[in-house]
Structure 1
Amino acid sequence: MAYQVLARKWRPRTFAEMAGQEHVLRALINALEQQRLHHAYLFTGTRGVGKTTVARILAKCLNCEQGVAAEPCGKCDACLELDAGRFVDLIEVDAASRTKVEDTRELLDNVQYAPTRGRYKIYLIDEVHMLSGHSFNALLKTLEEPPPHVKFLLATTDPQKLPVTILSRCLQFNLKNLPGSLIAEYLRTVVDQEQLEAEPAALARLGQAAQGSMRDALSLLDQAIAFGAGCVREGEVCAMLGTIDRGFVLEALEALADSDGQALLQVTARMSERAPDFGDALDEMLHCLHQVALCQVVPGAVPEDQPDAERLKALAARLPAEDVQLYYQLALNGRRDLPLAPEARTGFEMVLLRMLAFQPVGVVVEAEPGAAAEPGTAPKAAAGEAAAPATQPARPEKPEVGGATASGADAPDQPASPLDSRREALMRAARGQIAPEATGSAQGPATGPAPSATKPPKAGPADAQPAPEGVAPEPDAPEPPPWAEGPPPTDDEPPPWGEPLASPQADAPLAAEPARPDDAEGEDGTTVAPVTSAPGQPLEITADNWPWTARALPLEGALRQFAAHCEWVGEEEGRVILRLDEQHEMLRTPGLESEFSAVLGEALGRAVRLDIRQGAPQRETPAAVARRERAERLRAAQASLEQDPNVAGLRQRFGAELLPDTIRPHDGA
């Protein structure tokens, strides 16, 4: 008797013999048992997943002499003829070879006639997407309303090429690719029935090489049996498929775990002797790293009966989890870039060397010679207390705000730092023109000198905030070098003009006496007198103090923008005269003017009418003053960084560069 290939010999003859595709089989079995039969079925999927097999089993279920059932008897003449492929009422058509419209019309001419032997006349059209457009048009009417004794079974690997008019007339079943483990189990059944010797690892290799196709797996099994003279071994299967022996990949990972570059190159040399595909080698490495990661996170995810399970678990114990993730990403990128390498072996070796070079290691910072402790001041750790690392300078513990002292008494008031003094001076200079201090009514106006709002002092090493009293650094810690000291205190408070300053809950009314800063600098660099008024008297606004007054007014949004671009000209016959540049004319609206008049009238203590004139401002507007002050702060910040010893230390030690375009002053911008 002639030899029959395994793919044909082990083709399933019932739904129960099918491997996988439960989502399709369940629907068909339920439809057969409930007699809910459609007239057209479309089976889609890649090669070798069972499209034609399912169609033939369905034809057998429909024409079994025992009746329509999900389990045909397999013994009647109809079942035997269907298994032999000679049932007269099953018309199988290869659409790839019969694409013309004449072939389709000839096929449909016999649709009207009743079946000869079976219950139904079944048309099985394989690769139906190969039909021409005219053939589809000829098929449409019959496919939509066929005679009751006709069933259409269509199969295709490319359903996207089918017209939607065909798809809408069929029940669609998409057969999935089979997982490699399921294919390996089915191959084990076939090998046992054929009484052949096969290694589980070899069957797993075949299942993986089949890429989801059972027919491909059976064909590869036939080839492996012939290659191994009746035995299926992993080494022979790898040689037949041209794939990489998994042992080489595991040896490479073990060399990575040992940080042994020489062993890595030796593994690559032994792999090259077999002329492998290094792309497949990286794929195998990705698969191994995936299983190692599974062993680390879910130890039971890797089956115990897997041949290399012990080596995978050993690697999972030796390699840190972050190294495994890094190796996986490097292998993934290397697989993508492998075609760009001049030689495949060179690209593969570079991936391994990159893994070896990029291993995460602990960073050890060497102490500067000047930071060493002087003789006689060596640190002495107390018994039972861990000593601090020598490379970390001792820092005083930050005291809690509002906390009590060690003795339980209230802590004395700490002197204000220079930074706090400058911040308070800026607040008074910017908002003191019209808004009084919160405690002004009880304590009177501030009498101490206030720095100019437009000339912030330069920050230097002496501006650092001193350590609180009662909290001292470790006496035995070595003195850190200047560049290693803590960062200078930063002013992260919002800008004075970025706050609503005249809220009735926090501040006094606008008509109250404003705080009196000693001096404020005008736009031309001269000193101008601040605005003063007696308690209960209206506020006096002049062209000199208008830039600071406009900032302190309770304005938001468009009102704030309007005031910032207006120049105070003066008052004339109860009218407030403002000058607005033509390029900002779009800010002027009737509703906005009325709102601004109300706010300005509240500040002046009387009703006002606005007289807004167009023209180029002759003095600095509030927006221009703000831009000038910001430029001055930026220059001061840049000068402060240029003189900062920490920056100098970074430049000297690391060759750092100061990028002027990246410097931002602490103004909330």
Structure 2
Amino acid sequence: MSHVVLARKYRPRSFDQMVGQEHVVQALGNALSSGRLHHAYLFTGTRGIGKTTVSRILAKSLNCTGPDGSGGVTAQPCGQCMACTEIDADRYIDYIELDAASNRSIDEIRDLIERAAYKPSVGRFKVFMIDEAHQLTKDAFNALLKTLEEPPDYLKFVLATTDPEKMLPTVLSRCLQFNLRPMPPEVVHAHLQAVLQAEDVPVDAGSLRLLSRAARGSMRDALSLTDQAIAYGAGQLQEAGVRTMLGSVDRQHAARLVQALAVRDGAAVLATVNELRSHGLSAAGTLEEMAGLLQQMAVEQAVPGALDDTDPDTAGARQLAGELPADETQLLYSIVLHGRAELSLVSDDYAALTMVLLRLLAFPPAGPAPVGAGTRAAPLQAAPREARLSTVARPVVAPPPKALPASHPPLPRPAAAVVPPSPPKPVPAPPPQSQPKDELPPWLDDALPDEAEASGESAAPAEPAASSPPPPGIVVVTTPLGDRWAELLRPVLAGGSIVALVRELALQAELVAVEQRDGNSIWRLRVERESLRTAALRDKLQAALQAAAEPTLRLELEAGVAADSLARRDAAEREAAQREAEQLIQGDPAVCALMAQFRTARIVPGSIKPVSEPRTPLP
């Protein structure tokens, strides 16, 4: 008898044999037991997690007749009747599988629809299974829609896809969708252990752990890798042989790299990378193993004792978790994950790996860290004045502005930190020829407060600058007619019945007169913009106001500057709120203390905003 690969030999034949997809098994089992059958099912998920297997079990459940031939639809197919045995053998005439990866055109779908017109030959239901359904063409999908929505009672559709995002929404809405999840390594590990025990293959714990992780949630991949490992190991599985076959990196190498990075030992990092190169170990595998180690370390740091004590890697992860700060663990994890994408950008994988690992050393430690042998980055210290002159970088405090020559390119404004210092004294701009290209800004020529303290000089406290008078704001002289116009108009604006230019006309207009004429109430509006003084806009606004409040209201427009309009009222209200916010910040004790401490600090114009927005006419 020819050899049958493990993935086919141990393919589940019933829902009871399926592992890792309990949510799908329970839903389908309850539906079959209660007779609540849908006409179309969609199974989604990555490769090798059981989409086609679930489809075949579902087809057996629908057509099973039991060992004695008198059974009906069941959630537990017998596995002995003609339907069960022939579906398992891929020769049941009423179960049709179509691979859309190679049969994706409208012609194949038309042929399928023609076959759907005929009742089942031997079974209770005819089941059409379309694998990789997302690869069907748009025309093929459209041809299938009608049959998919209203198939005959004897027809069931099963679609399977690894990419449901590429499916037409009209197809998704016609199907009962189940998402099969990738299986965790623990589930794969337990299943592989049972399979190898049934196959009587010697195996150690380390090789099983490597295979279950390498499967990446796919049981079919796990069984295929196990077949390959059995052949590689001549009938037995040993960790060393499986690691060599998979090209996996030993956890010890990852631990040494993390240890070296924790103590900022650059020489040890380079030595470990050279060792990986000499042994031909994968650079990508190294980063992957480091990511797994760092994930365990982060879990231990956040929730001590949460790691699995039976995992042999737990002890090393716990030890390293105490040597690397939690924030640096997260940073290194992010560096490692993003670094895997960079390996393909360089011809030398190990050179790219070196750059990825040394990236952490570019970030100085936040505080005292464990002292180790070799090179480590020194903590941040105040650089001498000469060094600051060559690299101008100051945190938090934004320097005061200085006029630059007309030929100088504009400088970008720094982002505003919430440090509102006082405005500086104006500095006259020198003529263009008097400022050399490399001349430093004047705030770097003066001694900083920390330099004065270091030299023993007494630094006089900075006197708060006299606040300049606020600029003249928008002045609105309200009138009784303006109040009446606002009272009528605001509910209409909030209701959203007027929009666009009609709304703009209402906001920009000032009510200047109200009079009675011929039984109508004539409201005369003063509008400055000629583009708003049109009959069409006036009629639309008039109709909205008539429907909302006064049926006898008539509008007349005249040219002129509106002094009391809703737009001016709202602008004045926003300006008053802005001024109040600026005064609160400038008078805040913490702000005043910062201004006294950092005499070069200033409030970046426009960085202060009111916490709550004033009233706006928008709904």
> What's the TM-score once normalised by structure 1's chain length?
0.55
Query: 1:487-532 CA deviation, whole Å, 9 max, x = no partner?
Result: 7244278x3745xxxxxxxxxxxxxxxxxxxxxxxxxxxxxxxxxx
CA contact (8 A) 2:453 2:459 kept: no
Deviation at 1:121?
1.8
**1:92-111 aligned within 5 A:** 92-111=97-116
Matched, 1:234 2:234: no
Query: 1:287-334 CA deviation, whole Å, 9 max, x = no partner?
Result: 211211211221223211112211111112233334423433443454
CA contact (8 A) 1:198 1:231 kept: yes
SS of 1:123's partner is: strand
Distance (whole Å) between structure 2 residues aligned to residue 13 and residue 55 of structure 1? 11
SS of 1:319's partner is: coil
Question: What letter is aligned with 1:86?
Answer: R
Q: 1:53: which partner in 2?
A: 53
Q: 1:355: which partner in 2?
A: 360
Q: Which moved more, 1:35-44 or 1:236-245?
A: 236-245
Distance (whole Å) between structure 2 residues aligned to residue 118 and residue 664 of structure 1? 81
Q: 1:264: which partner in 2?
A: 269
Question: What letter is aligned with 2:278?
Answer: E
Q: 1:491: which partner in 2?
A: 464
Question: What letter is aligned with 2:224?
Answer: S
Distance (whole Å) between structure 2 residues aligned to residue 199 and residue 488 of structure 1? 73
Distance (whole Å) between structure 1 residues aligned to residue 42 and residue 380 of structure 2? 66
Distance (whole Å) between structure 2 residues aligned to residue 367 and residue 251 of structure 1? 33
Distance (whole Å) between structure 2 residues aligned to residue 70 and residue 485 of structure 1? 88
SS of 1:53's partner is: helix
Could you say if the C-alpha distance between residues 214 and 138 of structure 1 is closer, same or farther in structure 2, counting changes exceeding 3 Å?
A: same
Question: What letter is aligned with 1:197?
Answer: P
Could you say if the C-alpha distance between residues 486 and 223 of structure 1 is closer, same or farther in structure 2, counting changes exceeding 3 Å?
A: farther
Distance (whole Å) between structure 2 residues aligned to residue 56 and residue 156 of structure 1? 15
Distance (whole Å) between structure 2 residues aligned to residue 233 and residue 16 of structure 1? 31
Could you say if the C-alpha distance between residues 314 and 62 of structure 1 is closer, same or farther in structure 2, counting changes exceeding 3 Å?
A: same
Could you say if the C-alpha distance between residues 486 and 345 of structure 1 is closer, same or farther in structure 2, counting changes exceeding 3 Å?
A: farther
Residue number among 312, 330, 333 corresponding to 1:325 in the alignment: 330
Query: 1:33-77 CA deviation, whole Å, 9 max, x = no partner?
Result: 110111222222222121110010001111111221211222333
CA contact (8 A) 2:296 2:314 kept: no
Q: 1:36: which partner in 2?
A: 36
Deviation at 1:97?
3.6
Could you say if the C-alpha distance between residues 90 and 254 of structure 1 is closer, same or farther in structure 2, counting changes exceeding 3 Å?
A: same
Question: What letter is aligned with 1:318?
Answer: E
Query: 1:253-281 CA deviation, whole Å, 9 max, x = no partner?
Result: 23334544443333222211232331331
Instruction: Identify unmatched segments of 5+ residues in structure 2.
Output: 66-70, 369-378, 385-421, 423-445, 478-559, 569-594, 609-619
Deviation at 1:227?
1.1
Deviation at 1:367?
14
CA contact (8 A) 1:323 1:359 kept: no
Residue number among 222, 229, 234 corresponding to 2:227 in the alignment: 222
**1:544-555 aligned within 5 A:** none
Deviation at 1:345?
1.5
**1:83-94 aligned within 5 A:** 83-94=88-99
Residue number among 220, 228, 243 corresponding to 2:248 in the alignment: 243
**1:147-546 aligned within 5 A:** 147-341=152-346, 343-356=348-361, 358-360=363-365, 361-362=367-368, 363=379, 481-482=454-455, 488-491=461-464, 495=467, 497-498=469-470
SS of 1:310's partner is: helix
Deviation at 1:14?
1.2
CA contact (8 A) 2:364 2:380 kept: no
Distance (whole Å) between structure 2 residues aligned to residue 138 and residue 364 of structure 1? 68
Distance (whole Å) between structure 2 residues aligned to residue 206 and residue 104 of structure 1? 40
Q: 1:6: which partner in 2?
A: 6
More contact order relative to length (CA 8 Å, sep ≥ 6): 2
CA contact (8 A) 1:235 1:245 kept: no
Distance (whole Å) between structure 2 residues aligned to residue 326 and residue 151 of structure 1? 51
Q: 2:26: which partner in 1?
A: 26
Distance (whole Å) between structure 2 residues aligned to residue 98 and residue 198 of structure 1? 42
CA contact (8 A) 1:224 1:240 kept: yes
Distance (whole Å) between structure 1 residues aligned to residue 143 and residue 476 of structure 2? 74
Distance (whole Å) between structure 2 residues aligned to residue 29 and residue 40 of structure 1? 16
Could you say if the C-alpha distance between residues 336 and 161 of structure 1 is closer, same or farther in structure 2, counting changes exceeding 3 Å?
A: closer
Distance (whole Å) between structure 1 residues aligned to residue 236 and residue 604 of structure 2? 78
Distance (whole Å) between structure 2 residues aligned to residue 72 and residue 558 of structure 1? 84
SS of 2:128's partner is: strand
Larger gyration radius, structure 1 or structure 2:
1
Query: 1:442-494 CA deviation, whole Å, 9 max, x = no partner?
Result: xxxxxxxxxxxxxxxxxxx9xx9xxxxxxxxxxxxxx954567567244278x
Deviation at 1:188?
2.0
SS of 2:127's partner is: strand
Distance (whole Å) between structure 2 residues aligned to residue 335 and residue 367 of structure 1? 35
Distance (whole Å) between structure 1 residues aligned to residue 214 and residue 160 of structure 2? 24
Distance (whole Å) between structure 1 residues aligned to residue 460 and residue 21 of structure 2? 65
Query: 1:643-662 CA deviation, whole Å, 9 max, x = no partner?
Result: x9x99xxxxxxxxxx9xxx8
Question: What letter is aligned with 1:229?
Answer: A
Residue number among 75, 78, 95 corresponding to 1:73 in the alignment: 78
Distance (whole Å) between structure 2 residues aligned to residue 130 and residue 336 of structure 1? 27
Could you say if the C-alpha distance between residues 367 and 101 of structure 1 is closer, same or farther in structure 2, counting changes exceeding 3 Å?
A: closer
Distance (whole Å) between structure 1 residues aligned to residue 125 and residue 355 of structure 2? 64
Deviation at 1:9?
0.8
Distance (whole Å) between structure 2 residues aligned to residue 335 and residue 35 of structure 1? 50
Question: What letter is aligned with 1:192?
Answer: Q
- Percent sequence identity is 45
Query: 1:109-133 CA deviation, whole Å, 9 max, x = no partner?
Result: 3434332322212222223334444
Query: 1:349-387 CA deviation, whole Å, 9 max, x = no partner?
Result: 23334434645154597999xxxxxxxxxxxxxxxxxxx
Question: What letter is aligned with 1:64?
Answer: C
CA RMSD across the alignment: 3.9
SS of 1:173's partner is: strand
Query: 1:196-243 CA deviation, whole Å, 9 max, x = no partner?
Result: 233333223223322222211111111111112222233322221223
Question: What letter is aligned with 1:488?
Answer: P
Question: What letter is aligned with 2:101?
Answer: A
Residue number among 471, 475, 478 corresponding to 1:558 in the alignment: 475
Distance (whole Å) between structure 1 residues aligned to residue 278 and residue 298 of structure 2? 30
Distance (whole Å) between structure 1 residues aligned to residue 215 and residue 118 of structure 2? 43
Instruction: Identify unmatched segments of 5+ residues in structure 1.
Output: 369-422, 424-460, 465-478, 499-550, 561-586, 596-640, 648-657
Question: What letter is aligned with 1:350?
Answer: M
Distance (whole Å) between structure 2 residues aligned to residue 487 and residue 291 of structure 1? 53
SS of 2:475's partner is: helix
Could you say if the C-alpha distance between residues 664 and 158 of structure 1 is closer, same or farther in structure 2, counting changes exceeding 3 Å?
A: closer
Distance (whole Å) between structure 2 residues aligned to residue 278 and residue 311 of structure 1? 21
Distance (whole Å) between structure 1 residues aligned to residue 457 and residue 283 of structure 2? 48
Distance (whole Å) between structure 2 residues aligned to residue 366 and residue 162 of structure 1? 59
Question: What letter is aligned with 2:292?
Answer: H
SS of 2:207's partner is: helix
SS of 1:301's partner is: coil
CA contact (8 A) 2:476 2:564 kept: no
Distance (whole Å) between structure 2 residues aligned to residue 663 and residue 101 of structure 1? 69
